[in-house]
């Protein structure tokens, strides 16, 4: 989505099961965190995964720390 709210692209797939976090880096890379598939993926402007930078790790992986915190019934995840 552009700053003005215009939809640029969308993505769905098994790599993104339960998406609940998004981050845009200072260089404009879009990283999406998917809780159910334990994935962090980079999506380009056309909605395609950048496979060279695609990471899929389990919650206990040392290279990507995915933190979860349960507060009431809401789950929260973050990319560190």
Nearest to 14 by CA among 32, 39, 44: 39
- The Cα-based distances of 24 to 35, 72, 74 in angstroms read 18, 28, 23
Residue 80 lies in a domain: no
**In which domain, by residue range, is 54 found?**
1-59
Residue 24 lies in a domain: yes
Residue 6 lies in a domain: yes
- The Cα-based distances of 55 to 11, 30, 68, 70, 72 in angstroms read 16, 13, 18, 24, 29
Q: What does the pLDDT profile of the chain (80 residues) look like in tens digits?
A: 677 878 777 777 777 777 788 888 777 778 888 777 777 788 776 777 766 555 554 444 434 444 443 333 455 555 54
pTM: 0.53
* pLDDT score, position 69: 39
Residue 25 lies in a domain: yes
Residue 10 lies in a domain: yes
């Amino acid at each position: 989505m552009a700053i003005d709210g215009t939809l640029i692209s969308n993505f769905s797939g098994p790599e993104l099961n339960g998406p609940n976090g998004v981050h845009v880096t200072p260089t404009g890379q879009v990283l999406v965190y998917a809780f159910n598939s334990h994935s962090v993926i980079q999506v380009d402007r056309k909605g395609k995964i950048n496979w060279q930078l695609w990471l899929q790790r389990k919650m206990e992986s040392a290279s990507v720390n995915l933190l979860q915190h349960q507060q009431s019934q809401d789950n929260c995840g973050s990319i560190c």
